[in-house]
Amino acid sequence: MSDIFSLEHADEKLKVLDAFIKEQNAEEEALISILHKAQELFGYLPSELQLYVSRKLNIPAAKVYGVVSFYSYFSQEKRGKYTINVCMGTACFVKGVEKVMHEFSDQLGVKPGGSTSDGLFTLKDVRCIGACGLAPVVMINDKVFGHVTTHDVARLISDYRAQEGSDS
């Protein structure tokens, strides 16, 4: 079991989450919105966080787990600081996004769905993000990169690595 509640700033994050739940009148209907908020705050939804939400809303943990596991947007695994979403929509597919995915996978040394050991990157395939005009498309966190070729992969990774270096 990961100890998500012993992490830095966990108390403050929980307070924000509590306030959000209160704002929703702790309604069962708001479950998906609350899970969005929880994931935004903590980065992912491990089982103890799911349990926490279920107790707050007074609903079975099985229901929370059922919802979390149903939707692909929710992650139960810890994710890297940057999630590299490679679009697997049809437009990107016919423009050869598979090669881009392989290149990311080779260079990062992780399979789609996996995270690098330094906790920096998670590689994911994502459903069409609707930027088909720019195919093939890669979205790193919220930023969209269009017309990505295998040659761009190394640069994208090193740019984000460099950004990390200058941040810390």
Partner 1 sequence: MTTQRTHIMVCGGTGCVSADSLEIVEKFKGALSDAGYSDEVGVIKTGCFGFCGQGPIVKIHPDNVFYVKVSPDDVAEIVGEHIIKGRTVQRLLYQEPETQKKLPKHDEMSFYKKQYRIALRNCGLINPEDINEYIAFNGYEALGKALTEYTPDKVIEIMKASGLRGRGGGGFSTGLKWELTRKTVSDQKYVICNADEGDPGAFMDRSILEGDPHSVLEAMALAGYAIGAQEGIIYIRAEYPLAIKRLEVAIAQAREYGLLGKQIFETNFSFDIKIKLGAGAFVCGEETALIHSVEGNRGEPTKKPPYPAVEGYNRKPTVVNNVETLANVAPIILKGAEWFSSIGTEKSKGTKVFALAGKVNNVGLVEVPMGTTLREIIYDIGGGIIGGKKFKAVQTGGPSGGVITTLDLDTPIDYESLRAIGSMMGSGGMIVMDEDDCMVNIAKFYLEFTQDESCGKCTPCRLGTKRMFEILDKITKGEGTMDDITKLRTLGKTVKESALCGLGQTAPNPILSTLEYFYDEYLAHIQDKRCPAGACKALAKYKIIEEKCIGCTACARVCPVSCISGAPKQKHVIDEEKCIACGACYTACKFQAVLRP
Q: Please report the DSSP string for 50-84 in residue order.
A: HHHHHHHHT--HHHHHHHHHH-TT--SS---SEEE
Of the residues 10, 16, 26, 128, which one makes contact with partner 1 according to CB under 8 A: 128
Judged by CB under 8 A, does residue 149 bind partner 1? no
Judged by CB under 8 A, does residue 108 bind partner 1? no
CA angle 30, 71, 86 (to 5 degrees): 130
Judged by CB under 8 A, does residue 134 bind partner 1? yes
Return the sign of the alpha-carbon dihedral for residues 122, 128, 131, 136: positive
- Shortest gap between Cβ of 64 and partner 1 (angstroms)? 10
Judged by CB under 8 A, does residue 29 bind partner 1? yes
In a 3-state reduction of DSSP, which class is residue 141?
A: coil
Give kind and range of the element (H or E) at residue 23: helix 10-23
Q: Which stretch binds partner 1 (CB under 8 A): 47-55, 105-113, 140-148, 159-167?
A: 140-148
Give the residues lining the site for partner 1 (CB under 8 A).
Answer: 27-33, 35-36, 63, 66-67, 70-74, 88-91, 93-95, 126-135, 137, 142-146
